[in-house]
Structure 1
């Protein structure tokens, strides 16, 4: 495996941890992982990508990165702002985005909002945020506000051994392989009295107070002006929504595997890498 460099970025508003891969003169890429994951989501894929200078972030509230201050939230546009600040720090006027799941959604939001900044969009099993009809907006916000209040009473689970924590991650909301769970746990767990718990900010489990309508979400997709490639996992999340896939103007490739196909095993990572190497090589 090629070497990876651990870096910390002191942004004006938060400190983020990240992994750097690839040649210094490679095409600039900011890689964004999925919900409750971390930079190790790209541990298998990034070394297989050619000619790219990849900075894989621990997004705010995840892995070794800082948590947002009390009273702040984790909206998609807040992550998009973080990415822009990372680009400033790296001195990158233009850059590509590589995103998995929630990271793919943030990539679409940013590439649609500021299309002139983004050179390529490479997406793994994620496109737009879950949408909602506008008639239940007030009710949804009420539930989200109440959940914020109730969170103060909740405590994170503590696992007596690393093994138990890894097993819990394997069986999480989205199941992953043992190797994937171990990689995510490396950056995701911290010791506490009585064992281990996840470093992630508990506020990440809260429902979003505001969901976009379908038209609003698709407006980001439609405004993307750079080449875009979407990898759909055959047993993942997007394959269940063929009607959404048909509406996307992106190049699309379906590959075998689950939602974390780029991380679950070496063969899945190699298939995704092959697809993206072809995508990034097109002049």
Structure 2
């Protein structure tokens, strides 16, 4: 077996009441893929370095959340919320007719994965969460929310008159530095290209300059913080679900002292729970993709192994059809069923 190719994808547009959700479906498109959800202010390009390390027998559908990347912005007068983002998961499941979903989420994507799994655990077969688990309350939460509400209204007023002029534009080098600064150094200027290619538009006024095309209102979205007690109660609903969590050692986004109760419940009597802390920052999957893949790939192989009807086995089945030895066919098929890892 090989790994996925970053060039083997199909661009998709998933219809939504406010427009569409953009995505890229990598690899196998005949079977239900893993649904990959990026973090706040990012887009599906965040998985660019991880995708080529994943096994090629399974597909991965990476999406841009509303207001991010190339997905539609919500209507004027509305605001972005974590709770609303959770409903993106069943919307996509309904579009493709999935009864189950496998989730891979970074940061905000990890939060959405946790919240959806706790609400509908019977529809989730595995979760991979990268450097985030749940949104926790912070000191002076009400004051923080009030400030975001005011800034949201300012941004919306700016957008109303936005058709009269372009947003501030920058050179590509400046954009890389701005993105790195905005991520507090978690994304280096060298890695910024993976995120910029889906969230900037070329200026019509200034040659060789670009501006951010994502919805400015997402900077002030409602994070809907959870109390520690509520987070733990939600974790109890997940029960013995295959759950892999990877934390960046230099990141503040998965505070172990505050999340230890929730994580303990996830792992209680659960042989399918795994936690690893790797050297790195919040975007651990982007700057340390190989290290993350060391744990993600075996987890996927164990909980979403290749099946006999998979496209990755088509060549093997064709070879069997050429032989005239039925007993050898039966023996070979049994070996595939019992030891898929040997393929």
> Please, which moves more after superposition, 100-109 or 3-12?
3-12
1:242-282 deviations in whole A, cap 9, x for unaligned? Answer: 21343202420111221112112xxx212212211111222
Shift of 1:130: 2.9
Partner of 1:145: 149
- For the residues of structure 1 that align with 2:30 and 2:155, how far apart are their CA atoms? 45
Partner of 2:178: 168
Please, what is the CA RMSD of the aligned residues? 2.3
TM-score, normalised relative to structure 1 = 0.88
Contact residue 80 and residue 106 of structure 1 kept, 8 A? yes
- For the residues of structure 2 that align with 1:146 and 1:238, how far apart are their CA atoms? 25
Shift of 1:198: 1.1
Query: In the alignment, does 2:24 pair up with 1:10?
Result: no
TM-score, normalised relative to structure 2 = 0.74
- For the residues of structure 2 that align with 1:15 and 1:35, how far apart are their CA atoms? 18
Contact residue 132 and residue 212 of structure 1 kept, 8 A? no
Shift of 1:36: 0.5
Contact residue 25 and residue 59 of structure 2 kept, 8 A? yes
- For the residues of structure 2 that align with 1:24 and 1:148, how far apart are their CA atoms? 39
Say if 1:98 and 1:231 are closer, same or farther in 2 by CA, change over 3 A.
same
Q: 2:89 aligns with which of 83, 99, 123?
A: 83
Q: 2:277 aligns with which of 248, 254, 264?
A: 254
Unmatched tracts of structure 2, length 5 or more: 160-165, 267-272, 304-343
Q: 1:281 aligns with which of 288, 297, 301?
A: 301
Q: 2:212 aligns with which of 198, 214, 217?
A: 198
Q: 1:116 aligns with which of 111, 115, 122?
A: 122
Contact residue 174 and residue 259 of structure 1 kept, 8 A? no
Contact residue 80 and residue 221 of structure 2 kept, 8 A? no
Q: 1:237 aligns with which of 242, 252, 260?
A: 252
- For the residues of structure 2 that align with 1:165 and 1:95, how far apart are their CA atoms? 35
Contact residue 11 and residue 89 of structure 1 kept, 8 A? no
Secondary structure of the equivalent of 2:129?
strand
Query: In the alignment, does 2:132 pair up with 1:126?
Result: yes
> Please, which moves more after superposition, 152-161 or 32-41?
152-161
Query: In the alignment, does 2:196 pair up with 1:185?
Result: yes
- For the residues of structure 2 that align with 1:145 and 1:84, how far apart are their CA atoms? 28
Say if 1:209 and 1:269 are closer, same or farther in 2 by CA, change over 3 A.
closer
Question: For the pair shown, which has the larger CA radius of gyration, 1 or 2?
Answer: 2
- For the residues of structure 1 that align with 2:12 and 2:172, how far apart are their CA atoms? 25
Say if 1:163 and 1:237 are closer, same or farther in 2 by CA, change over 3 A.
same
- For the residues of structure 2 that align with 1:238 and 1:151, how far apart are their CA atoms? 26
- For the residues of structure 2 that align with 1:31 and 1:172, how far apart are their CA atoms? 23
Shift of 1:137: 6.8
Q: 1:263 aligns with which of 261, 286, 291?
A: 286
Shift of 1:120: 0.5
Contact residue 22 and residue 47 of structure 1 kept, 8 A? no
> Please, which moves more after superposition, 136-145 or 169-178?
136-145
Secondary structure of the equivalent of 1:282?
helix
Shift of 1:47: 2.5
> Please, which moves more after superposition, 206-215 or 157-166?
206-215
Say if 1:74 and 1:273 are closer, same or farther in 2 by CA, change over 3 A.
same
Which of the pair is proportionally richer in strand? 1
How many residues in Structure 1 have an aligned counterpart in Structure 2? 277
